């Protein structure tokens, strides 16, 4: 998969893209990430990418011309999505990650800044996506979350595919508690069932824990899960 990130701050992505599973996935060419700065597509001597909003108001808006030029400079793959990171967009969740990982070859991600972008950028965009119901200084952090969530689902990124299926949100429920050695740490002991070797009982316990944890922490998810069942 090809990711094209349109951002005024490309350096923000360096450590994220060179670390951990993402760094390994890029080294193995499971995915490519290209960083494009709209400032490189300005035509005035000051390389201006923002201006005051018509009608007045606080703050500055990103101008449409550099964003259009940046996106139009990119190659076009058959299955592509042009995403604007925006507080007004669809909230990121696991089904969205799966949809993007399975159905697209190219994701162009536009990171807004200042008070937002000129509304005419919407003519470029096929989807607006939000990290949540809050406002950050720019779209870079949400874009990093999007890249991470999608790339880890691409075949070859995660060594054990089974581990992806047993995570929170994949089944509609939160994940069950997990433990490793030592079996007794400061008096906190691993549940006996996990030491029993009885896989049927372990599976039953884990499912019960998923229900319990989801009921306590995310009753909204449990309700959705129950309605689907």
Q: Where are the alpha helices (DSSP H) in the chain?
A: 14-18, 20-27, 64-72, 94-103, 140-151, 161-165, 192-195, 199-217, 219-228
Prior bond of 182 cis (ω within 30°)? yes
Residue 136 marked in a binding site: yes
Q: Which residues on neighbouring strands pair with residue 3, listed in sequence order?
A: 33, 107
Find out whether 132 is annotated in a ligand binding site: yes
Distance CA 84, CA 6 (A): 9
- Tell me if 112 is assigned to a ligand binding site: yes
Has 133 been labeled as part of a binding site?
yes
Q: Is 134 annotated as a binding residue?
A: yes
Q: Is 197 annotated as a binding residue?
A: no
131 annotated as a binding-site residue: yes
Please list, in sequence order, all residues whose beta carbon lies within 8 angstroms of the beta carbon of residue 154, skipping any fewer than 6 positions away: 1, 25, 30, 31, 101
Known binding-site positions: 112, 131-136
Known binding-site positions for S-adenosyl-L-methionine: 112, 131-136
């Amino acid at each position: 998969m090809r990711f094209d990130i349109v951002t005024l701050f490309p350096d923000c992505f360096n450590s994220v893209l060179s670390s951990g599973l993402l760094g390994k996935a890029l080294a193995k060419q499971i995915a490519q990430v290209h960083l494009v700065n709209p400032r490189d597509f300005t035509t005035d001597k000051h390389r201006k990418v923002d201006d005051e909003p018509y009608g007045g108001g606080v703050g500055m808006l990103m101008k449409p011309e550099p964003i259009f030029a940046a996106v139009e400079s990119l190659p076009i793959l058959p299955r592509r999505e042009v995403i604007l990171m925006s507080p007004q967009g669809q909230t990121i969740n696991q089904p969205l990650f799966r949809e993007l990982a399975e159905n697209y070859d190219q994701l162009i991600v536009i990171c807004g800044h200042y008070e937002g972008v000129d509304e005419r950028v919407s003519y470029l965009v096929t989807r607006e996506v939000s990290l949540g119901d809050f406002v950050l200084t720019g779209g870079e952090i949400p874009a990093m979350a999007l890249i991470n969530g999608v790339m880890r689902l691409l075949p070859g990124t995660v060594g054990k595919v089974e581990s992806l299926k047993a995570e929170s949100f994949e089944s509609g429920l939160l994940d069950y508690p997990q433990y490793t050695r030592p079996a007794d740490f400061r008096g906190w002991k691993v549940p006996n069932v996990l030491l029993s070797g009885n896989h049927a009982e372990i599976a039953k316990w884990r499912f019960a824990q998923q229900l319990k944890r989801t009921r306590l922490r995310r009753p909204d998810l449990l309700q959705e899960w129950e309605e689907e069942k």
